[in-house]
Amino acid sequence: MPISLHHLRAGDASRWAVRQDGKWGELDATLADLLALPLDQARAVVDAAARAARGDMPGDKALPPIDRQEVWAAGVTYLRSRDGRREESGNGFLYDHVYNSDRPELFYKSSPWRVVGDGDAVGIRADSGWDVPEAEVGLVLNATGDVFGYTLGNDMSSRSIEGDNPLYLPQAKIYDRSCALGPAIVPSWTVGPGPFPIGLRVLREGREAYAGTTSTSAMARGFEDLACWLFRALSFPAGVVLLTGTGVVPGVDFTTRPGDTIEITSETLGTLTNLVVAVGDVSHGKGQP
């Protein structure tokens, strides 16, 4: 099994650890520390901790595999994503242009403290009637834009809000519990650049309400190309996570509901599981000037 990096709760603090072949080793560094280093130096730190791994590390709660990193996301990187945007908005030309242009769609997704991890609850907005998970591979990029590792991501989205007007995308994409990452980070040097098959399941009352699969081989853009565009005019001293878009988009007759369970799976990157809850209050702010 490849090495994986885990963020764990330790009392009132947190720590980073590596896991390999069922054995655990504690890292004497945070993710921000590692992503500030050149890739070869960060690799040496991780590999040394893996070689020193001994036995179990019980009693720690799993946290999202992030500490000081922003989360950004890319859109319309798969043909199915383009078609899904057409379905929700009726505006084909706009998304055809994004899919075919040199410049990708990149947007801010989440502050690190808003990210939830494996086993935590993800949210759908209470003021939205059409909501879907978006199963994605996340690039964990270091301060110079190199791919340090990979994780699974869920870019929860309100299709009703975004479909009403493309300028509403931040409200459709950015809210409490709208971003899940996990269960861990798999270093890039242990698995290579992919492609990565991805599976998505939504369970409702114990039964499968939706299932779909895709692969990063279907992306219209490469990982390095997306990373290059993100770093063109932005700096990330503590690194950044970039979600790379989804190729699994449920049809117009499906919406996620509170109480559903979302499973995103990759043979290489693990399984990210989250319960769905409603977020927000539709009456908030009414009657205010």
- Helices 92-100, 79-89: inter-axial angle, 10-degree rounding: 160
Query: Is residue 224 very low, low, confident or very high in pLDDT (cuts 50, 70, 90)?
Result: very high
Q: Is the pLDDT of residue 46 over 50?
A: yes
Question: What integer is the mean pLDDT of 189-216?
Answer: 95
Query: Is residue 57 very low, low, confident or very high in pLDDT (cuts 50, 70, 90)?
Result: confident
Q: Which residues, in sequence order, are CB contacts of 192 under 8 Å at separation 6+?
A: none
Give residue 60's identity as a one-letter amino acid code. D
Can you spell out the DSSP letters for the chain? ---EEEEEEETTEEEEEEEETTEEEE-SS-HHHHHHS-HHHHHHHHHHHHHT--S--TT--EE-S-SS-EEEEEES-SHHHHHHHHHHH--HHHHHHHHHSSSPEEEEEE-GGG-B-TTSEEEEETT-S-EE--EEEEEEE-TTS-EEEEEEEEE-EEHHHHHH-GGGHHHHH-STT-EEEEEEEEEHHHHTT---EEEEEEEETTEEEEEEEEEGGG-SS-HHHHHHHHTSS---TT-EEEE---S----TT----TT-EEEEEETTTEEEEEEEEEES-TTTTTT--
Say what the pLDDT of residue 270 is.
97
Give residue 199's identity as a one-letter amino acid code. G
Say what the pLDDT of residue 170 is.
95
CA 29 distance to own-chain centroid:
22
Average pLDDT, the chain: 91
* Residue found under tokens 């799976």: 265
Say what the pLDDT of residue 78 is.
82
